[in-house]
Amino acid sequence: MTTLYGLKNCDTCRKALKSLEGAEFVDVRADGVPETVLNAAFEQFGAALANTRSTTWRTLSEEDRKKPVLELISAHPTLMKRPLIEHDGALYLGWGKDTQAALT
């Protein structure tokens, strides 16, 4: 089973969802990411889990930017790099060529 965590209005998430037939889509803004998945993703990807090029990141104060990544993503789900894909127990972050090759 494949679950894609992202935003419904994100072009990259839409491309990934289109390529991953039968994948379940979870809108992180509306539904969030389960804590267990978020913790596993943080263990695997570390600070790369936060999208520091996003509009959300740019609107954060310097003080907020120094907070732990998981705390920031819990407070601002759109700050998570997208998509986060869970497939057969493995996690993939982003929709780069390596992720595409592994999943399509």
Catalytic, 10? Answer yes
Sheet order of strands, 90-93 included: 24-27, 2-6, 84-87, 90-93
Phi, psi of 93 (to 5 degrees): -120, 125
Of 5, 6, 7, 10, catalytic: 10
- Give the integer Cα–Cα distance in Å for 9 and 12: 9
* Catalytic annotation, residues: 10
